[in-house]
Amino acid sequence: MKIRFAALGMTLLLAAPVLALAQAATNAAPATDMTSQTAAPAAADTMAPSKKAKAAAPAQDEAGVKAAFANVSDAWNAGDAKKVASNFTPDSSFMNAKGDEGHGKKEIQKMFAAEFEGPMKGSQIAFDDFQIRFWNNSALVDCTATMTGLKKEDGTDADPMKTHVFSILVNRSGKKWESLVVRVYGMHQPAAAADTPAAAAPAAASTTPTDTKPAAKDSNP
């Protein structure tokens, strides 16, 4: 019996370290799983804001916007009204410096065709001094348009004409910016200083009666 108890004791002593290692491994396994489970949401939370910020950011494509204006000037300089109108959206609105307004590509094409056959015939246009702001996937543009090659009524060359252009451009296809709204404003120069003699004339007229009337009363009591 003593031998049996001694053998059983030795077995327990040898098995104890093995059981301890197995228990430690069992306890460690859930900890590892919990770590991976808690780390995954943290990584997902870190990525989410960047995706939202990327989706909300408007396209800062200044080169594309300027290319759209270059397309208009190229078509204008060729006297091609249809090609000019192709740079507008189907629901676009255009108003020139005279206040004439057209809606949609067909009306805008007719407006430019009439201009190219009339006062704008043979004219050239260039855009510069761009100020471009992007908002809600649209481009708000202020620029200067300089027109040359104009003729006076007597057929002589007219001076270059500058206008201010405000436009709202959209890029619905992702490939090309098109004009949704265009407004052209004339740049009027202040009147020449030819009003000075006219302003001096009333002053001279007002001094003459006041000097003569009292003298006439004093001479005839």
Q: Which domains does the chain have, with CATH numbers?
A: 62-186 (3.10.450.50)
Both tokens of 208, joined, read 């003459």
Confidence of residue 192 (pLDDT cuts 50, 70, 90): low
Please tell me the predicted confidence (pLDDT) of residue 154: 86
Residue with tokens 């855009």: 127
State residue 103's pLDDT score: 98
Average pLDDT, stretch 24-39? 43
Q: 108: Cβ–Cβ under 8 A, 6 or more apart, which residues?
A: 84, 85, 88, 92, 94, 102
Q: In this model, does residue 218 exceed pLDDT 60?
A: no
Q: Which range has the worst mean pLDDT, 53-62, 109-118, 192-201?
A: 192-201
Cβ–Cβ < 8 Å for 104, 92: yes
Strand-pair partners of 166 = 142, 183
Q: How far apart are alpha carbons 57 and 44 in whole angstroms?
A: 21
Confidence of residue 152 (pLDDT cuts 50, 70, 90): confident
Quick one: average pLDDT of 65-90?
A: 98
The token pair at 28 is 């460690």
**Is the pTM higher than 0.75?**
no
User: Region 128-133: what's the mean pLDDT?
Assistant: 98
Sequence-ordered alpha helix ranges (H) in 92-146 = 104-117
Residue 28 clears pLDDT 60, i.e. is over it: no
Distance between CA atoms of residues 87 and 179, nearest Å: 6
Q: Which tokens in the block code for residue 17?
A: 């370290």
Give the whole-angstrom CA distance, residue 213 versus residue 218: 9
For residue 214, how many other CB atoms are within 10 A of its CB? 10
Tell me which range, 8-22, 55-69, 176-190, is most confidently predicted by mean pLDDT: 176-190
Give the span between the Cα atoms of 191 and 186, in whole angstroms. 15
Rounded to an integer, what distance in angstroms lies between the CA atom of residue 102 and that of residue 183? 11
Mean model confidence pLDDT for the chain: 75
